[in-house]
Amino acid sequence: MPGLKRGTLVIIGGAEDKTTDKRILKIVHKLSGGDNSTVAVVTTATNSPYEAEKQYNEIFKSLGSKAVYGINITERSQANDYRLIKQIKECDCIFFVGGDQLRISCILGGTEFHKAVLDSLNNGKVIAGTSAGASMMSQIMVVEGKDDEAPRKCTLKMAPGMGLLQGVIIDQHFNQRGRIGRLLAAVAQNPGIIGLGIDEDTAAIVRSDLTFRVAGSGVVTVIDGRDISYTNVSEQNPDDPLAITDVKIHVFPEGYGFNLVTKEGIIQKDYEEGKNIEFEEDKK
């Protein structure tokens, strides 16, 4: 579909409400086209694919989606199956469930399926992911690290992500699992990129202009390391505590946002005063 602008990313920090208000999943449904939408649920990250597929199938059907397809790819050879490629290209939304983000990148990375996901995003579709499905969206992703601990220089492992959003590192279940230390360490090692820590039941909704708005019950923490004046991350003794100075941290609840191009926060009243184009979920 030539001429379409880049689509929308819905990056969910995990444990989104699936039973009561379903606020975030309702936003995914609406952005995808509402009752005319078709959704592909990709279960590669989880060890319980059929349970995950069934759960999200029931949710999106209850919200009114026209069709929901389960995409259970467990081997790289499957990720080059033209029938699956055709199916997801016809969907309005591709939704990645949680589990292990390394499974997503190792099984899907560089395949025709991966290319089709990137093409879908560039053709105006919605790509959503929760937990591991959020972490894999960045160019570099956190694979493993210690929670609830003071930041240390080498307490995390990183790997290439799926590259849906350049210039960021995404971490999920953020405040619930005390992950600020590991995201600070990730930014210290990659100071030119932005760290996004997304809480449970919270989403960063990234538009085509690379601004995002927060939705949900928690917050999105933004760590900007461009002005770091000193860090000991490259020195010897890798298990030493991390030293870092002049790092900038923003915290945004629902209704606030951030511009990933200008690296500036967007306060709630700016949306209310119409200084930014409203999101689809804001329209009555």
Q: Would you please indicate which residues are annotated as catalytic (active-site) residues?
A: 131, 173, 200
Number of helices (H) and strands (E) in the chain: give both, helices first: 8, 17
Q: Which residues pair with 152 in a beta bridge?
A: 241
Distance of CA 160 to the CA centre of its chain: 14
Which residue shows structure tokens 């949900």? 216
3-state secondary structure at position 255: coil
Distance CA 209, CA 10 (A): 14
3-state secondary structure at position 13: coil
Here the tokens at position 197 are: 């820590």
- For residue 102, the tally of other CB atoms under 10 A from its CB is 19
Helix (H) / strand (E) containing 70: strand 67-71
- Do residues 40 and 238 lie in contact, with contact meaning Cβ atoms separated by under 8 Å? no
Here the tokens at position 102 are: 């390394």
- The alpha carbons of the chain give a radius of gyration, in whole angstroms, of 18
Q: Which residues pair with 206 in a beta bridge?
A: 9, 212
Here the tokens at position 24 are: 């975030």
Here the tokens at position 191 are: 């100071």
